[in-house]
Structure 1
């Protein structure tokens, strides 16, 4: 089973013009020094060209476009007799001596869980952490040989599963990257996937009188917006701080003679509360946070997703006949014990990464329906509680940002959300933020400025383009603030201008 990854070299400032020929013979010669590697293909891409494998790439079904002139190569790394992973490299004609890597989304690489088979731990290890580290190590060898020069700085940027991969790498191998940007990381793998299953079962059609039909989802989210919107000083269809909103579920309760299509019964309110509140064990310890108030209707689901079902069925229980409706709270402890692929990124002692000068930017959308935003807050808090008692100033190497109104990794109907992060996509944008290619607006440039110049990012200005499709027209911009500060509207200026907002505690 192969796990494709993508690695990118990007042009920012410097031109390193000495390079090898973009040919099979070049790469086969280079890979002779990389154990267990073989070349899949190599291709030259002209300036403004496109490249990818969209037709066969399930999680990334679009080719990269508007590329600079570059050499593209794909490499296979063998990890056992019948397992391997693929990674790709983009090698620009004009290189700036930087290395940039990105990771996967979802389950990575378009993997079909059913086709993976059972009892194949080597494949799980590839997925859990080995493919990322092996790809980074091999790619650095390729880059150094291709350009006949040294990499000056190494970076990583990705979201979701890619966020988990980045955190896992700096925990296991703090020397790999100088700067890391992770969005909505799926770091707590064993609890995230069991929570995903529990969420679907909570509102399963067989849940009885407490079942909430899809027709009522918007009733719930609309009322959350009604109760929580103005707490940031502006009525704008964006909940700036859902964690601080004292939402009253009772306001959803059906009154006598009220149309039942626009309200909830007492039993349904009980179900809604379970979906938005933390998942607790019998001792009231938190197993996973609840979803944020105002997260879109996808968070309410009436069915468990395959992510949770198959994680337990194939990777924890190793039983293709396991019945997901029999899930019980003790299965979380079993998942922890098995920890498939050792994927959970829960080593909160990031001091080795700090000590070698590493910098970490971490962000999460507050309207994320797939990864509870508070799971990122929990990760930050655990790092803080691990290192602060030793006298470590966390802000010196780790900045965390909530992005109000943003869904999973990207997107919002109304809120500014685009910061040029890993997996963020707006048609017509090949990189950075058009018109604002600077560290104040682009999270990749922000991590570079922090690593290379010591410019710490207190805030990053998020952008909302018109209809999320027109990069030539900006609908609004707003600062997102390093945690625990939050953006507050000044009450009188144009709300679409970032200067109208201040980052305050």
Structure 2
């Protein structure tokens, strides 16, 4: 069913102007990158040859580099061009460096891949959201990644056992990997990379923004997806609230004893169906996708039937109230917001399985996120005094403003929320920031807060940055909306030829939905004719007024340049940071 645009309060004259916008065809030509010729390797792909490289002084603090495995990987059905596979370690901690160096096909571009979650692995696949990118498909890129200082993630005690691992995970690992990789390229090909890029999502998005903020000269172009840049808040109050607020007596019973959960995973399809029923057509098309969840003013009381949950599918009032609290986000005991409003967006309910078990007595995955992070950060001595050097769980979180300020004190080390990108912009850097509106892990509201503060401080933001919000897309992909696209080609074209990206065409291979996504705050609007799965039938439209859903919260100070990012080292086995 299509909605009359008059119901959207769009005047006929305004609609006429809207339809004069640029129509993006389904198969628009890719923006042009610089015509860079291929360069062959100038040295052998052997461990002995790499061990002879003089990399002294390349990485910060004269960090030692040790190569551990080097071999040629031939062309195959899954490998379009032969490459040299390289593995090594960057000291003084244990940050790995893993590289793929094309033997003959390299077109002088270097792409460093981010690492998701809490990292701990160094699997080197294709860059994030690069489907259809020609240099990727042809095997023309030098790529690299790092485990960021440790070899396992959640539940591990790498912060305690190796203090350098904490620093490498916070910010150093990505930087020294870039330094070493560029030096390897110079040695291997006899010339520098013409352009360097970083591409990551989730923690990889945090790493991307950390690079732009701390090391503005490391990369010419950066793609930062669904960034976990407010790391301390994300892994404490954000996840903990969504678990605790769904319990009958939150925080009373210690692990492994369990409280009764109000909502179980089986309740979510009903909740989602009612949200979609109420808000799907606000964008003019009935397709099961909410293009801007902030416009959805869903009333959770409508989830309750006359018999208070005793009818099929319906919820009790207590369950409906839990839905409202999960959507609303974490608050202090006196009602102050500890994260932006709408922390769990309407339309993402099918993926709320993170916050609740399948059955009573089970564990919600979000609980594991919090317990892992609290254990490690509470053992991070620069920010916690001796009295707090004990393992903690989400039940120990203090939901007061004072508790919030104490818990997130290590943000100066782990967070990438500094909005001052003037050095990055001044160096000619280009940034594509992006997020899925139905992200179940990291709230797009946090990325909006970063965009809002960065845009005000680093002006004009449009000269070097674009922000894209993908309707109905989950965390780094998935979801019911268009969730597969190519970010790398438009980023490269912007850096190399000055062609700033506009519409990005995204597809959902499962549902067949294909849509253009425009730089924020513009959204796609249906022209009224043709298939609603064809991106050619959509045009950009910018709302006349800003959303009334605020990103303001107690942690606003984290999104200012006044929160100085700490520089840390290890002295006598302890982490020492300034400021």
TM-score by length of 2: 0.72
The 3-state SS of whatever aligns with 2:100 is strand
Q: Which structure 2 segments of 5+ residues have no match?
A: 1-32, 122-151, 251-258, 357-363, 380-387, 543-579
Q: Answer whether contact 2:34 2:493 (CA < 8 A) is retained.
A: no
2:245 — aligned with what?
202
Alignment of 1:272-421 (within 5 A): 272-281=323-332, 282=334, 284-289=336-341, 290-299=343-352, 301-302=355-356, 303=364, 304-316=366-378, 319=389, 321-330=391-400, 331-339=403-411, 342-387=413-458, 392-412=459-479, 414-419=480-485
Indicate how the Cα distance of structure 1 residues 252 and 296 shifts in structure 2: closer, same or farther if over 3 A, else same. Answer: closer
1:96 — aligned with what?
107
Aligned match for 2:37, one of 14, 28, 34: 14
2:492 — aligned with what?
448
Is residue 181 of structure 2 the alignment partner of residue 130 of structure 1? no
1:252 — aligned with what?
303
Indicate how the Cα distance of structure 1 residues 18 and 123 shifts in structure 2: closer, same or farther if over 3 A, else same. Answer: closer
Aligned-residue Cα RMSD (Å) equals 2.3
Q: How far apart are 1:243 and its partner, in Å?
A: 1.4
The 3-state SS of whatever aligns with 2:475 is coil
The 3-state SS of whatever aligns with 1:287 is coil
Range that drifts further, 202-211 or 238-247: 202-211
Indicate how the Cα distance of structure 1 residues 456 and 132 shifts in structure 2: closer, same or farther if over 3 A, else same. Answer: same
Range that drifts further, 227-236 or 172-181: 227-236
Is residue 199 of structure 2 the alignment partner of residue 157 of structure 1? yes
2:116 — aligned with what?
105
Aligned match for 1:176, one of 210, 218, 241: 218
1:434 — aligned with what?
none
Q: How far apart are 1:141 and its partner, in Å?
A: 0.2
Indicate how the Cα distance of structure 1 residues 67 and 125 shifts in structure 2: closer, same or farther if over 3 A, else same. Answer: farther
The structure with higher relative contact order (CA 8 Å, sep 6+) is 2
Q: Which structure 1 segments of 5+ residues have no match?
A: 1-9, 50-64, 420-441, 468-474
Alpha-carbon distance in structure 1 between the residues aligned to 2:278 and 2:350: 17
Alpha-carbon distance in structure 2 between the residues aligned to 1:459 and 1:221: 29
The aligned length equals: 443
1:426 — aligned with what?
none
TM-score by length of 1: 0.83
Q: Answer whether contact 2:420 2:457 (CA < 8 A) is retained.
A: yes
Q: How far apart are 1:209 and its partner, in Å?
A: 8.3
Alpha-carbon distance in structure 1 between the residues aligned to 2:428 and 2:72: 36
Q: Answer whether contact 1:280 1:288 (CA < 8 A) is retained.
A: no
Indicate how the Cα distance of structure 1 residues 41 and 397 shifts in structure 2: closer, same or farther if over 3 A, else same. Answer: same
Q: How far apart are 1:278 and its partner, in Å?
A: 3.2
Alpha-carbon distance in structure 2 between the residues aligned to 1:273 and 1:140: 49
Indicate how the Cα distance of structure 1 residues 47 and 164 shifts in structure 2: closer, same or farther if over 3 A, else same. Answer: same
The 3-state SS of whatever aligns with 1:30 is coil
Alpha-carbon distance in structure 2 between the residues aligned to 1:115 and 1:31: 34
2:12 — aligned with what?
none
Q: How far apart are 1:337 and its partner, in Å?
A: 1.6
Indicate how the Cα distance of structure 1 residues 263 and 361 shifts in structure 2: closer, same or farther if over 3 A, else same. Answer: same
Aligned match for 1:235, one of 270, 286, 291: 286
Whichever structure has more strand as a proportion of its residues is: 1
Indicate how the Cα distance of structure 1 residues 120 and 226 shifts in structure 2: closer, same or farther if over 3 A, else same. Answer: same
Alpha-carbon distance in structure 2 between the residues aligned to 1:145 and 1:494: 53
